[in-house]
Amino acid sequence: MARHMRFLLSVLLLLPFAAPTHAADRLAVFDEAARIVEEQFFDKDMNGVDWRAAVTEHRARFAPDMDRAAFAAEVNALLARLETSHTRFFTPEQPAWYQLAGVFLPGNAALAADLAPHLTDGVPVYAGVGVMVEERENGVFVTGVLQGHPAEGAGLLVGDRLVSVEGAPFHPIRSWKGRVGKKTSLIVERAPNERLDLTVTPALLNGVTMFETAMTKSARVIEQDGTRVGYIRAWSYAGQKYQDILTSKAIFGPLKGADALVLDLRGGWGGASPRYLNFFAKDAVEMTSIGRDGKASSFASGWTKPVVLLVNEGARSGKELIAHGFRALSLGPIVGETTAGAVVGGRLNVLSDGSLLYVAVVDVLVDGVRLEGKGVEPDIAVPFDPVFAAGADPQLDRAVAEAARLARLAGTKEGPPPLR
């Protein structure tokens, strides 16, 4: 049992799915999941839920012909009764399975051993194009396009409804299987009844590195009324490597000469540490190197120019710690929508069929405040529904405009901008 219950604490956060072939096998996995949740969930009173009665109720709903998707939905319906984040069941029929495995694998030998029978060469890879999607009643919509991935090159935009791939209904995993490196027809709707036929070439996406690539490629400078605003998006913030990307791009890279910065934490995965906020300290040490040719090169230990934080309901877990601290330390304004309110500590379990069970195992208070179920509200609210947005991003537009305003204000006799 210990093999399937390795502890991975986070203040957040191949081979074909070895799916049970008989209802009895599925029930065994269901029972395994229910037992682990009862043993690990942070509240012994199960958040006021009569857990065993709930388990019995949902167990009775299983049928011999239940497919994998229906099975996973029923397990998650049971877990939803706890009304707590970081408590969910994932299968390799979902990109989140590979992404979540990739978030937690680095440096964790125990998890690597548990997942080894279900991975290709020890790596959580899957065929895909690099989009984040949301399934709604009227279809599957793109909510994010990862920079540096095939979808970006193919012209996919946030808001596109994914209709079909090579004539078959879209599925986030099955649609791309067997098509890596091959030009593939993708039908999307950019507006209701406005269909486009795009060509995309799927690639093998590595759950460990895909978000590093996207963050690195996202860094750019946006010109706003004569002001240079740096922009970078942390699709995942689960580890020092993401902070290193931010530091590298802002201190040595393309964002170095920007007058202000927008740090985008929307969507993706959490995992950030509050200490990352030290990068935005009000004061920094500057070092200048001078070579034989007399040329000088300077860099600072942190970012002291105006900074704006961009969040939405997809900013979760450790990213919410960053948002809370950003406000508490008066580092700058927060733009967007209230964050997810998903701030507890999670444990990742590899079940006997290779599925992943994420369980909230510790409650978390931030400065004595429980953010679970509440989130962090923005200073500047910008509601945004991405459906049929055709690539528009009013939240980013507002954040860039605010960053430019603060940069101009910082350069006047009025002194530093508010919240700095």
Task: Tell me how far apart the alpha carbons of residues 295 and 118 are, in angstroms, rounded to a whole number.
Answer: 54
In whole angstroms, give the CA distance from residue 398 to residue 402: 6
Mean pLDDT for the stretch of residues 360-384: 96
pLDDT, tens digit, 9 for 90 and up, residues 172-231:
999 999 999 999 999 999 999 999 999 999 999 999 999 999 999 999 999 998 999 999
- pLDDT, tens only, 20-46: 445 668 899 999 999 999 999 999 999
Whether pTM exceeds 0.95? no
Positive or negative torsion for Cα 180, 391, 306, 290: positive
Q: List pLDDT tens digits, range 52-70.
A: 999 999 999 988 888 889 9
Residue 303 has pLDDT above 80, yes or no: yes
86 CB contacts (<8 Å, ≥6 apart)?
10, 12, 13, 317, 342, 344, 345, 346, 358, 359, 360
In the three-class reduction of DSSP (H, G, I as helix; E, B as strand; rest coil), residue 285 is classed as coil
Residue type, 378: P
What pLDDT band is residue 405 in, cutting at 50, 70 and 90? very high
Q: Do residues 318 and 270 touch, judged by C-beta distance below 8 A?
A: yes
First to last CA, the chain: 51
| pLDDT tens by residue, 70-84 | 999 999 999 999 999
Using CA atoms, how far apart are residues 360 and 344, in angstroms rounded to an integer? 6
Q: What is the pLDDT of residue 288?
A: 53
Name the band, by pLDDT with cuts 50, 70 and 90, for residue 296. Answer: low
Q: Which two tokens stand for residue 182?
A: 């091959």
Name, in order, each residue with C-beta under 8 angstroms of 187's C-beta and a sequence gap of 6 or more.
Answer: 163, 164, 165, 195, 196, 197, 198
Domains, in order of start, for the chain = 2-118 (3.30.750.44), 125-206 (2.30.42.10), 210-343+365-410 (3.90.226.10)
